[in-house]
Amino acid sequence: MKYILLMSGTKPGAATYHAWTPNDREAHMGALRAITTELIESGEFVATQGLEGPGEAKVVRGEKNGLPVTDGIFPESKEFLLGYWIVDVTAPERAYAIAGRISAAPGPGGIPTNMPIEVRRFADSKPISRDEP
């Protein structure tokens, strides 16, 4: 069963991260990298990706005169995806356990961020992937 673990935050939340000391950021990313390495070793790893900050985010709705209609204004409360992990596990509990570990990654001063991680299963329909003939 494939699950996606989504890490999201508001613009002010994402901005806070950049105010962390380099040491705190290094410790945080080090913990996340260690989780990824463990997932690769256990064979549960599918993919992980970080997204660029929300500053450049756009919403596109249809076309006008052949051009995409873009909008870059979002409500303050809007939750932006910051990054994700895709894991292939045998039970949802295992996906929750991995998400718990990500949430426990250290923040400023080494204290766990306790960031909420949204856990979602992929739809049952066969995913279309690059590997498909």
Tokens (6 digits) for 71: 């909008």
Greatest C-alpha distance within the chain: 53
Q: Does 21 bind other proteins (CB under 8 A)?
A: no
Q: Does 124 bind other proteins (CB under 8 A)?
A: yes
Do residues 102 and 5 lie in contact, with contact meaning Cβ atoms separated by under 8 Å?
Answer: yes
Secondary structure (3-state) at 3: strand
Q: For other proteins, give the closer residue by CB, 13 or 81.
A: 81
∠ CA 18-96-4, nearest 5°, is 65
Q: Does 133 bind other proteins (CB under 8 A)?
A: no
Binding footprint of other proteins on the chain (CB under 8 A): 4-6, 18, 22, 25-26, 29, 33, 47, 49-52, 54, 56-63, 67-70, 77-81, 83, 86, 92, 96-97, 99-101, 103-104, 112, 114-125, 127-130
